A = this chain, B = another copy of it.
């Protein structure tokens, strides 16, 4: 399928096979509204709805839903509506006989805005945010550093997707700078803790997915229901202050080492767009308990190329840090969500779940500086610049990107970018 409404380069993240959703404001419109990206352009979904593009879709009040400053209402509608909207959009963009094509040109500013002119916002009002810990390589690497090789993976790790609740209020959209957090840390175990800016500030390469319809309190989800629930995915940087985290996290888990900020990319790539890129997840041994046992036949992994780059404060260029892939993830998205709801916990439209750091077997795939510098024991070399890092320094910029490679097209996620500003004086 080809887009013939605007031209789309084969390297564009936003092909007609993608059509990711976001929320934006443009110079020409006051209120944030729902948008879909195609090539280098943002489509105004509220205007397309007014023009009647989605009028035949049952169960969708398109004008209302796409005029909202968040995607929650759309996310709540479920897969049949999502697929119908995708179908209408693809027809509009590829079929010159589409009824609306005569009324709208690609230079119509009420419908089409160049991406460089739009301001992207958080795609949803995130009710609850949960972060998992689902890469075996990451959990093993961290475990070796903290507890030694023989006790690297905790006994529960291969039986359930370990997860914890995160802070929703401090999730920000790509491009939002964050201040280095202050906090307590205790480097010298023989002395009292000290207070000050984190000295071991890190990124974590993650993806995150938005929940659609969800479930009622007390009613668990099956694996198949969980998969149907997932609207789409974004890139996520789960910034982590390792020294604050190390001191605070026993026994109740990460708290202030994470909650100073979490950055997500603005475009939500739908699971329908990711469908062609399914791959088997890693073999699970021991076999999980029946409620997590995946016998649906459809592979539960996704082949998504992921990259983390750094623009150090010293120079104007991005240098590679991590090259990973979502396919390394041991616990699948649907296993994570099924586990999350097995106790009856209710999911709501717009809830966000992070995968946890996505590390693979090779060193270049390690998804955090903690792993790349092996807890600060060695330097990370930035290309041939002569610049090194153990952790993030003030005014470094971290950029995550990701895409699926199709035959002549990409389904990409755009970027998840953030600069670390110096700590404020507390």
Contacts and interface: CB of A to CB of B under 8 A. Distances in A.
A275 B178 CA distance: 37
A400 B292 CA distance: 36
Interface in A350-371: 351
Interface string A251-272: 1111111011100000000000
A92 interface: no
Contact of A347 (B169, B247, B250): B169
Nearest to A198: B343
Interface in A98-140: 127-128, 133
A343 B286 contact: no
A1 to B, nearest CB: 38
B290 A195 contact: yes
Interface string A236-248: 0000010010011
A205 B184 CA distance: 29
B424 A344 contact: yes
Contacts of A244: 343
B261 A193 contact: no
A220 B182 contact: yes
A219 B164 CA distance: 25
Given A252-B162, A253-B252, A289-B193, A167 B345 contact: yes
A164 B248 CA distance: 10
A316 B347 CA distance: 35
A163 interface: yes
A351 B328 CA distance: 36
B348 A169 contact: yes
A424 B168 CA distance: 30
Interface in A13-33: none
Which of A155, A170, A255, A343 is most buried by chain B, counting CB atoms within 10 A of its CB? A343
A217 B122 CA distance: 15
Nearest to A244: B343
A342 B196 CA distance: 10
A343 B166 CA distance: 14
Which interface class (under 10, 10 to 19, 20 to 34, 35 or more) fits A? 35 or more
Contacts of A339: 256
B172 A255 contact: no
A218 interface: yes
The prevalent SS among residues of A at the interface is loop
**Copy count, this protein chain:** 2
Contacts of A424: 218-220, 344
A340 B249 CA distance: 14
A159 B181 contact: no
A345 B164 contact: no
Interface in A169-188: 169-170, 172, 178-179, 181-184, 186
A168 B181 CA distance: 25
Contacts of A259: 165, 340, 343, 345
Contacts of A127: 127, 168-169
A212 B121 CA distance: 25
Contact of A342 (B154, B346, B426): B426
A70 to B, nearest CB: 14
Contact of A255 (B165, B186, B289): B165
B247 A156 contact: yes
Given A193-B159, A252-B253, A169 B346 contact: yes
Given A155-B186, A160-B193, A162-B255, 9 more contacts: A128-B169, A159-B192, A162-B252, A164-B165, A169-B345, A170-B344, A183-B343, A219-B424, A257-B343
Interface of A: 127-128, 133, 146, 154-156, 159-160, 162-170, 172, 178-179, 181-184, 186, 192-195, 217-220, 241, 244, 247-257, 259-261, 286, 289-291, 339-340, 342-348, 351, 424, 426
